[in-house]
């Protein structure tokens, strides 16, 4: 009976050692929990982005103003009753002389 209790105690100690010290034990559990938290945060960020994109798609499908805004900003389109003005910056003689001097 004494040998049985001693061998049982040794088995328990070995299992405890494996639980606390091995790579598959408590350390791995902590690493996996941290990875799950990071993944959940990333999923939440992506879910918010998806919701924003879905709202934008709904606006583009239903609303004319959102479609016009997209056409103006992305494609540079203007309506028939609008006039397009392009403002070109004025060249200064001082700026052009500096570039000529720097090029020499």
Q: Is it the case that residue 7 has pLDDT exceeding 80?
A: yes
- Residue 104 pLDDT: 40
Spatial CA neighbour of 69 closest among 83, 58, 59 = 59
| pLDDT, tens digit, 9 for 90 and up, residues 43-68 | 999 999 999 999 888 887 887 777 78
CA distance linking residue 100 with residue 104, whole number of Å: 7
Contact between residue 77 and residue 71 where contact means Cβ atoms under 8 Å apart: yes
Position with higher pLDDT, 30 vs 65: 30
How many C-beta atoms lie closer than 10 Å to residue 65's C-beta?
Answer: 8
- The answer to whether the pTM exceeds 0.85 is no
CA distance linking residue 27 with residue 95, whole number of Å: 64
């Amino acid at each position: 009976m004494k040998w049985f209790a001693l061998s049982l105690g040794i088995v328990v100690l070995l299992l405890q050692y494996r639980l606390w010290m091995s790579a598959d034990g408590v350390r791995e559990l902590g690493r996996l929990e941290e990875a799950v938290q990071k993944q959940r945060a990333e999923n939440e960020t992506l879910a918010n982005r998806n919701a924003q994109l879905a709202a934008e798609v709904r606006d583009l499908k239903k609303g004319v103003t959102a479609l016009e805004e997209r056409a103006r900003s992305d494609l540079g389109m203007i309506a028939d009753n609008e006039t397009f003005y392009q403002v070109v910056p004025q060249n200064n003689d001082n700026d052009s002389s500096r570039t000529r001097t720097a090029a020499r």
